[in-house]
Amino acid sequence: MDQIHLMNVFVAVGEDESFASAARRLDLSPAAVTRAISGLEEQLGVKLLLRTTRNVRLTEAGRRYLDDSRNILASIAEANEMAAGVNSAPKGNLSVTASVLFGKSYVMPCIINFLKQYPEVEVSAYFLDRVVNLVDEGIDVAVRIGHLPDSSLKALRVGQVRRVLCASPEYLAKNGVPQHPSDLLRHTIIAASGISPRVEWKFGAVDDPTMVRMKPRLTVTSNDAAIEAATSGLGICRLLSYQIASELTEGRLKIVLADYEEAQWPVHLLHRESKFGSSKVRNFIDLLAENLRAHPHLN
């Protein structure tokens, strides 16, 4: 049987976890779907699916083959589009994710420009303060802040940010400016993190850090709320530099203990594209990378 046909059938069955659903999706008879899967397993000499009267599940080999088949079929489709000239005009849905404040301040302006430039593209933007799995959740492009784990995803570095401590001028005038991380134990602390009775902040070099464990006066899960509390003069907060860029420029917050900061955190764009790549993803990455690299708060 044709290898591409077998892969298409297997991907449909694997994604739907159903022979009947795959048959309807591909407009094939259930018997044709069963023959295709059996032929593929015989050809490969490995069991890809576990079938019972009630359900269909992928084996470990099946999960790996499903990912590989998706990538191969996507590359074939993209190569065909390029040869036919379809890629000259970006179209279709583009999904993008970033953290809430970064997405609002830095990604959203690029999305708006991109949509104005390419009228046949729709964008789904997911601004969430959690790590989104690009493969599992079908995301095209993600912005990641921090050091990346080993991954098969493509990464493009576009800038860097700092993790800083800040407080309002009014708070510092009243309570004094800390000169050493240990001085924080005598200050009011605002923690932007998961709800916990204590937080531990690390300062300085990776190989010789200074650790300070504190009990925050206020703990919030929203960076916006932490910024509001800090600018109102409640205490000292730890945030990423881009999150308080406007507050620093306007003088509503000041950085403290700058000499004890950790190394800068890299900012990357992640994507799943093959060497061909769809034009909507390529063009959006080019636009976003150009804008982020030129932004003074990220470089």
- How many other CB atoms sit within 10 Å of the CB of residue 214? 17
Residue pair 33/9 in contact by the 8 Å Cβ criterion: yes
Q: Which residue has the higher pLDDT, 186 or 77?
A: 186
Lowest-pLDDT range, 77-81, 200-204, 265-269, 286-290? 77-81
> What are the pLDDT digits (tens) for 137-157?
888 999 999 888 766 678 999
Domains in the chain (CATH in brackets) are: 3-84 (1.10.10.10), 90-160+265-298 (3.40.190.10), 163-260 (3.40.190.10)
Going from the C-alpha of 226 to that of each of 13, 131, 212, 257, the distances in angstroms are: 47, 20, 19, 18
Average pLDDT, the chain: 88
Per-residue pLDDT band for 88 (boundaries 50, 70, 90) equals: low
pLDDT at 43 over 60: yes
Count Cβ atoms within 10 A of the Cβ of residue 286 and give its class: 0-12 exposed, 13-18 middle, 19 or more buried. Answer: exposed
Q: Express each pLDDT in 121-142 by its tens digit.
A: 999 999 988 888 887 788 899 9
Instruction: Write out pLDDT tens, residues 52-62.
Output: 877 889 999 99
The CA-based diameter of the chain, rounded to the nearest angstrom, is 79
Find residue 164's DSSP bridge partners.
Answer: 239
193 against 282, higher pLDDT: 282
